[in-house]
Structure 1
Amino acid sequence: MSIEESIQNTDTASPPDPETVTETAPPVQKPRRRVLRTVGLIAVAAVIGLVGGTAVGYGIQADREPTALPPLNQPGLAYPAKPLPKGQAPKPLAASEDHQAKAQGDLRKLLLPKPAGAKKADFAPRDGWMPVYAFASHFKEPGSALDYQLDLGVRRIAATAWQVGTYRTTEIRLVQYRANDTLGAQEYVGDQQRYMPDEDFAGNEGKELKGSPDGRYYLFPVERKAGYLDFYEARAYFHRGDIAVEIFVGDTKKISEQEIRSLAERQLGRL
């Protein structure tokens, strides 16, 4: 091939296919310096505006006169505006009428005394005080019962028990909880009353105790076992302030409703 033909062939050659061309140049990036600088200036201006506005607001508030509060809507007060004249002020309650004074004293003095002709029961506490662990031992699970009483805030327990004739026994317990706190006494009484309707206990809802908002007394069905005398039982549960009261009466003869009700009412009266 001659030189002229080579030049002619070169001039008439077709351009390469675009799909076979490889991109080798790096992409062009737009400058961002101006954008970042603008965003920074806006943020700084916002902070300066916030601080300046807060300072100006505090300054204006400090220079203002205090605004008086509106009067309370109390056209009349329950107590006199001036002290009562001498001799007209109410007298303080006597210790015998002040429940708190009575409850914080010797709790044993609030127990009903044993009736005439009765003797102290063998299981009665010697000095009238029942330890908390001894009290918890009367339940099926003494450990759990002890923890439960401690959680309720039990403070002390006064108890008495007497016997009339051969088989009639009566026991009264005053379980006092934290001073000026009625929740412990109320909760314990409520728990005892809650399982009274079960067949293993009274099997009934009991009856309301007059003079107590939630007190109740119960007559149990007779318990009969071969080789044993019949056994009758009655109970009462109520509370007065921070003192929970429980009363147990047992006998081989039927216990009347009037007997347990009268016993509970008289014990409530002493509180």
Structure 2
Amino acid sequence: MSIEETVRNTDTTAPPDPEAVAEPAPPVHRPRRRGLRTLGLIAVAAVVGLVGGTAVGYRVQADREPTALPPLNQPGLAYPAKPLPKGQEPAPLPAKEDRQAKAQGDLRKLLLPKPAGARKDEFDHGISNGWMPVGAFASTFTRPGRALDHQLELGLRRVAAESWMTGGHRRVEIRLVQYRANDVRGAQEYIEGQQDYMPHEKYAGNEGEELKGSSDGRYYLFPVERKAGYLDFYEARAYFHRGDVAVEIFVGDTEKISEEEIRSLAERQLGRL
């Protein structure tokens, strides 16, 4: 075979076999779209009709006389229709019956007094003259900084507190945590948050018992804590709120604490509020 024939046979640009070329496909006939113009006209007409109808409706309503509202059906209102004559106004509640007035005064006076024979608490958490500084209150939490920020968000105002020891190792601490005046949300939210912890195994491990006379109060007995080389430790707590004051009661001892003891403390403190 000559060189020219060899090159010709290896030339990849040579035209393919005419028999192998497919015939061109017949042109695709696209049917004419019908009805688009009609649909467009209908849509425009619908929009024009809607706008026109709305405008006419507003115009008709604007031309109408205003319709008077029906009278309120409140027969026998609790307050008089006219102010009472001078000298017949009801007397204000005495301070001992006005819970709000009591709470706005010296909050320490609402604390349960120390029992006779009680001695100074060795672990008073910074309580001085019946007051617990806000910083000392925050330090009783696992994360003091975070706790302080949260308390300030709730509207913490002041903390009155007292603690004492009786018998061998019985320790009692009571805190009255007051929030913004006339706003019960701070006290309620704080107490509900503390109660949420109680059923956890790390704490009381139970739902506690309802405190009579309080809408949300509960008291708890903790399971005994035992550690090698230490005396057994018993604990009881109570949580409730009255108005803008949240109440916490803690009792700890190396001897068993009865349910009646924590309940009595909580009921007596509730009664003072």
Q: Distance in 1 between matches of 2:265 and 2:134?
A: 24
Give the CA RMSD over aligned residues. Answer: 2.4
Measure how far apart 1:153 and its partner are: 1.0
SS in 2 for 1:229: coil
Q: How far is 1:186 from its partner?
A: 0.5
Inter-partner Cα distance in structure 1 for 2:148 and 2:201 = 25
Question: Which residue identity is paired with 1:216?
Answer: R
1:247 match: secondary structure: strand
- Return the alpha-carbon distance in structure 2 between the equivalents of residues 183 and 224 of structure 1: 38
Match of 1:220 in 2: 222
1:220-266 CA distances to partner (integer Å, 9 max, x unpaired)? 11111111111110000000001100000011100000000000000
- Match in the other structure for 2:138: 136
Does 2:183 match 1:196? no
Counterpart residue identity of residue 233, structure 1 = E
Please, which of 158, 163, 183 is the counterpart of residue 156 of structure 1? 158
Amino acid corresponding to residue 234 of structure 2 in structure 1: Y
Matching of residue 100 in structure 1 with residue 118 in structure 2? no
Can you list the C-alpha shifts for 1:12-53, whole angstroms capped at 9, x where unaligned?
A: xxxxxxxxxxxxxxxxxxxxxxxxxxxxxxxxxxxxxx9xx9
**Aligned partner of residue 238 in structure 1, secondary structure:** strand
Give the AA of the match of 2:157.
R
Distance 1:66 1:148, change over 3 A: closer
Match of 1:183 among 170, 182, 185: 185
- For 2:74, give the aligned amino acid: Q
**Unpaired segments ≥5 residues, structure 1:** 1-49
> 1:236 — aligned with what?
238
CA drift of 1:71 comes to 2.7
CA distance in 1, matches of 2:72, 2:196: 46
TM-score, length basis structure 2: 0.72
CA distance in 2, matches of 1:157, 1:199: 28
How far residue 192 of structure 1 moved from its aligned partner, in angstroms, is 0.6
Is the counterpart of residue 247 in structure 1 residue 245 in structure 2? no
Q: Which amino acid aligns with 2:96?
A: S
Whole-angstrom distance in 2 between the partners of 1:114 and 1:129: 15
Match for residue 270 of structure 1? 272
Instruction: Give the structure 2 partner of residue 71 of structure 1.
Output: 71
Counterpart residue number, 2:172: 170
Within 2, Cα distance between the matches of 1:77 and 1:235?
Answer: 45
Name the residue aligned to 1:113.
Answer: 113
Deviations 1:155-183 (A, max 9, x none): 11111001102301100001111111111
Give the SS at the match of 2:191.
Answer: helix
- 1:170 is matched by which residue type in structure 2? V
C-alpha distance in 2 between matches for 1:234 and 1:75: 51
Identity %: 77
CA distance in 1 between counterparts of 2:174 and 2:259 reads 17
* CA displacement at 1:85 relative to structure 2: 6.1
How many angstroms apart in 2 are the aligned matches of 1:65 and 1:196? 63
Q: Give 1:73's aligned amino acid.
A: N
Residue of structure 2 equivalent to 1:81: 81
